[in-house]
Chain A
Amino acid sequence: MSYPWWYVPSLTSPMVIAVVAIVHVLVSQYAVGGGFLLALENQYALNNGDSEYRKYWKSHAKFFILLTVVFGSITGVGIWWTIGLASPLATEELIRIFVFGWAIEWVFFSLELVAAFGFFYFWDRLPKSTHKAMGWIYAGAAWISLVLITGITAFMLNSRGIFGDWETTGGFWYAFFNRQFIPQTLLRTGISLLLATVYIYMHITWIDAGNALREKTVRRMRGPSIAGALLMAAGAAGWFIFLPQSARMMLERAAVINVFLGIFAAASAAIVLLLILGPFRAPQKMNFTSALSLFFLAAAAIGSSEFIREGIRKPYLVDQVVYGNQIMVAQSGPISRSGFLNSGVWTGLYLRDLQEKYPSLRIYTPANILPGSRSQSTAVGAPVPGAGSSRLNAVSVGAPAAHALQTGTVLDLPEEGSRRPGNEDWLRMGQEDQLALGRVLFMHLCNDCHAAAHGYSAAAPQLTGKTEEETVSFLKHLNRPGYFMPPWCGNDTEATLLARYLMSIRPEMPSNITGRAEESNLP
């Protein structure tokens, strides 16, 4: 609404987030688990005077820094970049709620950096106790970073709190200590440990470490592998128990989620099996190929779990706060009464440009829609009842009227509870312009999750065989058959325009399919 929609052909812009996020998670989880293991094994080697074993961990620390400090930090920034571009409204909301969570996380990130550099660059120079301390400072800071970020991402899946609900209290701590927080923290801690051991298996089998050292390292990593797997299992169970009802249903009903769930389960089982066959039964035989296989399986498990995590949130981006199509839950009602195109800054600008061609076109603007949609008697600075959060009327209530008088725009606010039939003169425009408006609606309402005719989850092929009336009806009741879709956030005219656009790009019925369902003789 406030922001231009970023169009990424075929892939859709949120998938850019997914690509960056999955790559980042594969490194950042290692940064947590690996940090813990570096501190632990460094302490073990120092306490036992095992200089050869410690030498290996120095070489691992170098690999660790090159991967986590460089790639991890840049892809971490990459997530910031891409969420701001593809989901600006959700990002805006999350930053508003969790700004100090992120600020605290930055302090721990700074600690991580200083400790990591001190730990590595002063490896044989710092006094033993100081070196051990630096290792543990890194490990602690990295884990707290994980805890802080998990509090935020867990809130996106379930905004209900452990001690009280954020929706009613509006407090940071209620949002942070949400019902998914503890399970996801356990889960991510477990993944971090397990993944770190996989990286270590890969590294020790890749370098020329010698049989004895390799076997020793592999043996010592068995405990953390088991601990990681157990934490993961406990976390996954808690995650399932505390899923919101809609998410739990999504696990069962969405075929693609089923597939990813299957990949996750199969990859996890294969990891356990490989761990038993490799590090547990024959640590001396552990080689790079089996370590690499473990890594690919771990990548498949983590990638699919991230996809599931994203997929089951639907229809929300942030549970009960922001819908997947970048509309605040609290605003969907007023927008559907007033019309989507009128409500957005950039769609409004598009209409204004269109008005040059059709001077009689009636244009409504956010000025005479959105403030009116919120409690008109609300004072500036006070929470808006029903807004789901505490957004503000930044302008006084009188502003829209004054503004309308000044600019000569029509002020025609819809009444509460009524649905404006829509700006029907749009349907009298030329066909090309109608389709163009339909495409504008598609971009802003659908392109978050669907490509148009071709690409990721393309929308048009899903409508093949439907008539325009059926499509309009489907759009107007978007969340009835599929609760995982956001409700229709437009007026009736806009539903017609969108349907006409989709009809124009949908593929024809495949030639090998005979007849439409209603034409068959089936009862």
Chain B
Amino acid sequence: MTPVDIYSLNGLPAPYWFIQLFKVLGFILHSVPMHLWLAGLPLALVLLLIGGGNGKTFARRLLKQMPVVMAFGINLGIVPLLFIQVAYYKVFYPATILMAWHWIGILVLVLPAYYLLYITSGLVDRGFKWRPAFSGAGASLLLIGAGLIFASAWSLMASPESWPELWRAKSLAAAATGLGTNWNPVVLLRFISICGLAILTVTFWVLFDAHFLYVPKKDSGSGRQQQQQISDFMENPYLSRSRKKELSKLRDRGKLTEEEELEALTYGFNDDDEAGAEGYPRWTLRFASVLVWFGVCITLGSLWLYYYKVIDGPESVTSVPEASMVNAPARFAAPSAAPERMIPVWIPPVTFTAVGLFAAVIILANLGKVGGKLFVALLGLCLAAALTFFAITRQIIQNEQIKNYLDVRSIPEQMQLSPLLVFLLVFLFGAGLIFWMVAAMAKTAKR
């Protein structure tokens, strides 16, 4: 008996391509903030603790941005989640029900992580070092846990053949207890490939932030020189008022340690320096040219394994185990005689090329000391291409994996034309308004 009920399908409310487009587009947009908290957060914490002046600057900037990043990550995650439920509900609901408690666990992990990010951001703002490191590490671990559950759920969704066994193991009177899990090397591989891409996104963000969002402090001598002009942390212009108040109280009670006092005294001054005259944007290019190697190696390695050894490997999952198809209707019951290639031949090389191009541009730019906004924009296009091809490939694989149970392409349309048009109009209107608000904020920030 096939575990996917194809006898009570609804028509698609929009054309197949429209649903695929928004699902993929939503995933790409969601993946940018997701990558920042997955790879950027731990990296920022490491740099906060052991980085140099510029490293700390980047760390502080990213940690302060993180609550906003998180908000948009969640918001943009709604789009693919909505369109999954429009067309893939027959596989989405059973998979998540079988692992219901883990699925709910995502919320249990993300909610405290979100608050911890606010706490971390506030602590960084007040000049602390170890406290934000601890709270940030907590948030990072929780978010990695949530990411692993997501990877597990999407894998389970794409493998209905594994549901009956899971259900038998974790059910009570034919009802799912929701305690099922789906941990296997493939899930880990999927997660690692996402981590690789996440490092690439962070690499881009380091440069984007430095070239587009970073506003250098007014030049009045080097940070070190400025710092030498003050003798008390109460005079430190970079330290927040609340932190000064807090430290002052500690000092009055004789509980202020020397280390804390020194940190408060020097806080913020070295942000624009790095032992010499090298500016922050220049440092980011140098840093990115190192970081990108990690991203490229992990991404290419894991994707190569996933595409060629797991998906289109000798034991391709296109050949659905016959046992799981017993009793399925004729057109669904015949597994492919020979494994077919799931992924169009040209897609992986193009994805790899986009990743390679992204890395090459950074490395060459660093060697030639080339920089600037145009260069970062070009880099953004390379990354967008890599993320887009990855997202398309991921979608193709998902469709192929479930095709023998649910062929989404073959579901007839039942167009909801007028609501669709209203949505598109509202979408354009909303995008325009968001653009206006962001432009107003950018203009103010520059001023």
* Contact assessment for B11 and A390 in the assembled complex, using a CB-CB cutoff below 8 Å: yes
State which of B171, B175, B413, B434 has its C-beta within 8 Å of the C-beta of A111. Answer: B434
* Contact assessment for B5 and A115 in the assembled complex, using a CB-CB cutoff below 8 Å: no
* Contact assessment for A347 and B71 in the assembled complex, using a CB-CB cutoff below 8 Å: no
Identify the closest chain B residue to A347 (Cβ).
B174
B330 within 8 A of A: yes
State which of A3, A100, A370 has its C-beta within 8 Å of the C-beta of B97. Answer: A3
* Contact assessment for B327 and A392 in the assembled complex, using a CB-CB cutoff below 8 Å: no
Interface residues of B in 170-195 (CB under 8 A from A): 171-178
A391 within 8 A of B: yes
- Please judge, given known A-B contacts A4-B167, A122-B444, whether A447 and B333 are in contact too, CB under 8 Å: no
* Contact assessment for A74 and B110 in the assembled complex, using a CB-CB cutoff below 8 Å: yes
- Please judge, given known A-B contacts A66-B118, A106-B79, A172-B419, whether A111 and B7 are in contact too, CB under 8 Å: no
- Please judge, given known A-B contacts A126-B444, A399-B331, A400-B329, whether A73 and B71 are in contact too, CB under 8 Å: yes
A8 to B444, CA, bound (A): 52
Interface residues of B in 106-128 (CB under 8 A from A): 106-107, 110-111, 114-115, 118
Instruction: Give chain B nearest CB distance to A161 CB in angstroms.
Output: 15
Identify the closest chain A residue to B420 (Cβ).
A100
* Contact assessment for A100 and B103 in the assembled complex, using a CB-CB cutoff below 8 Å: no
Question: Chain A residues with Cβ under 8 A from B225's Cβ?
Answer: none
- Please judge, given known A-B contacts A102-B82, A439-B173, whether A366 and B97 are in contact too, CB under 8 Å: no
Identify the closest chain A residue to B176 (Cβ).
A4
Complex A-B: 25 CB contacts under 8 Å: A6-B100, A6-B175, A74-B107, A78-B107, A85-B96, A103-B22, A103-B423, A106-B78, A109-B75, A114-B438, A118-B437, A127-B444, A134-B437, A346-B174, A349-B1, A349-B164, A349-B167, A366-B7, A367-B7, A390-B10, A391-B9, A392-B9, A394-B9, A400-B329, A440-B173
* Contact assessment for B426 and A7 in the assembled complex, using a CB-CB cutoff below 8 Å: no
* Contact assessment for B7 and A113 in the assembled complex, using a CB-CB cutoff below 8 Å: no
* Contact assessment for A104 and B423 in the assembled complex, using a CB-CB cutoff below 8 Å: yes
Interface residues of A in 107-143 (CB under 8 A from B): 107-111, 113-115, 117-118, 121-122, 125-127, 130, 134, 137
Which of B86-94, B208-216, B298-306, B345-353 interfaces with chain A? B86-94
B375 within 8 A of A: no
Identify the closest chain B residue to A387 (Cβ).
B8
Interface SS of chain A: helix, strand, loop or mixed?
A: helix
A256 within 8 A of B: no
Interface residues of B in 59-87 (CB under 8 A from A): 67-68, 71-72, 74-75, 77-79, 81-82, 85-86
- Please judge, given known A-B contacts A6-B175, A81-B103, A81-B106, whether A173 and B1 are in contact too, CB under 8 Å: no
Question: Chain A residues with Cβ under 8 A from B52's Cβ?
Answer: none
Question: Chain B residues with Cβ under 8 A from A85's Cβ?
Answer: 93, 96-97, 100, 103-104, 178
A440 to B256, CA, bound (A): 66
B440 within 8 A of A: yes
A431 within 8 A of B: no
* Contact assessment for B7 and A96 in the assembled complex, using a CB-CB cutoff below 8 Å: no
* Contact assessment for A392 and B412 in the assembled complex, using a CB-CB cutoff below 8 Å: yes
- Which A residues are closer than 8 A to B by beta carbons? 1-8, 16, 66, 69-71, 73-75, 77-78, 80-82, 84-85, 88, 91-93, 95-96, 99-104, 106-111, 113-115, 117-118, 121-122, 125-127, 130, 134, 137, 171-173, 328, 331, 345-350, 352-353, 365-367, 370-371, 380-381, 390-395, 399-400, 402-403, 406-407, 409, 436, 439-440, 442-444, 447
Question: Chain A residues with Cβ under 8 A from B100's Cβ?
Answer: 6, 85
- Please judge, given known A-B contacts A73-B75, A85-B104, whether A345 and B440 are in contact too, CB under 8 Å: no
Question: Chain A residues with Cβ under 8 A from B1's Cβ?
Answer: 345, 348-349, 352, 365
A122 to B445, CA, bound (A): 8
Question: Chain A residues with Cβ under 8 A from B110's Cβ?
Answer: 74
Question: Chain B residues with Cβ under 8 A from A7's Cβ?
Answer: 171-173, 175-178
Question: Chain B residues with Cβ under 8 A from A353's Cβ?
Answer: 168
Interface SS of chain B: helix, strand, loop or mixed?
A: helix
B1-32 CB contact bits vs A (8 Å, 1 = yes)?
Answer: 11111111111011000000010000000000
- Please judge, given known A-B contacts A104-B422, A104-B426, whether A346 and B167 are in contact too, CB under 8 Å: yes
B433 within 8 A of A: yes
- Please judge, given known A-B contacts A81-B106, A96-B86, A395-B329, whether A115 and B7 are in contact too, CB under 8 Å: no
State which of B115, B174, B327, B434 has its C-beta within 8 Å of the C-beta of A367. Answer: B327
* Contact assessment for B107 and A77 in the assembled complex, using a CB-CB cutoff below 8 Å: yes
Instruction: Give chain A nearest CB distance to B22 CB in angstroms.
Output: 8
* Contact assessment for A4 and B75 in the assembled complex, using a CB-CB cutoff below 8 Å: no
A347 to B1, CA, bound (A): 11
B414 within 8 A of A: yes
Identify the closest chain A residue to B168 (Cβ).
A353
B441 within 8 A of A: yes
B279 within 8 A of A: no
Question: Chain B residues with Cβ under 8 A from A366's Cβ?
Answer: 5, 7
Identify the closest chain A residue to B111 (Cβ).
A74
- Please judge, given known A-B contacts A74-B107, A107-B426, A400-B329, whether A5 and B175 are in contact too, CB under 8 Å: yes
B416 within 8 A of A: yes
- Please judge, given known A-B contacts A4-B171, A85-B103, whether A381 and B327 are in contact too, CB under 8 Å: no
B357 within 8 A of A: no
A121 to B213, CA, bound (A): 15
In order of increasing CB-CB distance, the 10 nearest A-B pairs are: A100-B419, A2-B5, A7-B175, A381-B412, A394-B9, A88-B93, A439-B173, A107-B430, A443-B175, A4-B176
* Contact assessment for B13 and A100 in the assembled complex, using a CB-CB cutoff below 8 Å: yes
* Contact assessment for B10 and A96 in the assembled complex, using a CB-CB cutoff below 8 Å: yes
Which of A75, A84, A390 has the most B CB atoms < 10 Å from its CB?
Answer: A84
- Please judge, given known A-B contacts A85-B178, A103-B423, A104-B423, whether A137 and B167 are in contact too, CB under 8 Å: no
Instruction: Give chain A nearest CB distance to B23 CB in angstroms.
Output: 12
A154 to B423, CA, bound (A): 21
* Contact assessment for B171 and A407 in the assembled complex, using a CB-CB cutoff below 8 Å: no
* Contact assessment for A371 and B97 in the assembled complex, using a CB-CB cutoff below 8 Å: no
Question: Chain A residues with Cβ under 8 A from B94's Cβ?
Answer: 2-4
Question: Chain A residues with Cβ under 8 A from B174's Cβ?
Answer: 4-5, 346-347, 349-350, 440, 443-444
B220 within 8 A of A: no
A7 to B8, CA, bound (A): 23
Instruction: Give chain B nearest CB distance to A348 CB in angstroms.
Output: 6
Question: Chain A residues with Cβ under 8 A from B412's Cβ?
Answer: 380-381, 392
B262 within 8 A of A: no
Question: Chain A residues with Cβ under 8 A from B167's Cβ?
Answer: 4, 346, 349
A73 to B300, CA, bound (A): 35
* Contact assessment for A365 and B327 in the assembled complex, using a CB-CB cutoff below 8 Å: yes
Question: Chain B residues with Cβ under 8 A from A443's Cβ?
Answer: 172-175
A393 to B107, CA, bound (A): 36
B317 within 8 A of A: no
* Contact assessment for A395 and B74 in the assembled complex, using a CB-CB cutoff below 8 Å: no
Instruction: Give chain B nearest CB distance to A168 CB in angstroms.
Output: 16
A117 to B64, CA, bound (A): 13
Instruction: Give chain A nearest CB distance to B298 CB in angstroms.
Output: 29
Question: Chain A residues with Cβ under 8 A from B90's Cβ?
Answer: 2
Instruction: Give chain B nearest CB distance to A472 CB in angstroms.
Output: 20
Interface residues of B in 398-423 (CB under 8 A from A): 411-414, 416, 418-420, 422-423
Question: Chain B residues with Cβ under 8 A from A348's Cβ?
Answer: 1
Identify the closest chain A residue to B173 (Cβ).
A439
* Contact assessment for A399 and B330 in the assembled complex, using a CB-CB cutoff below 8 Å: yes
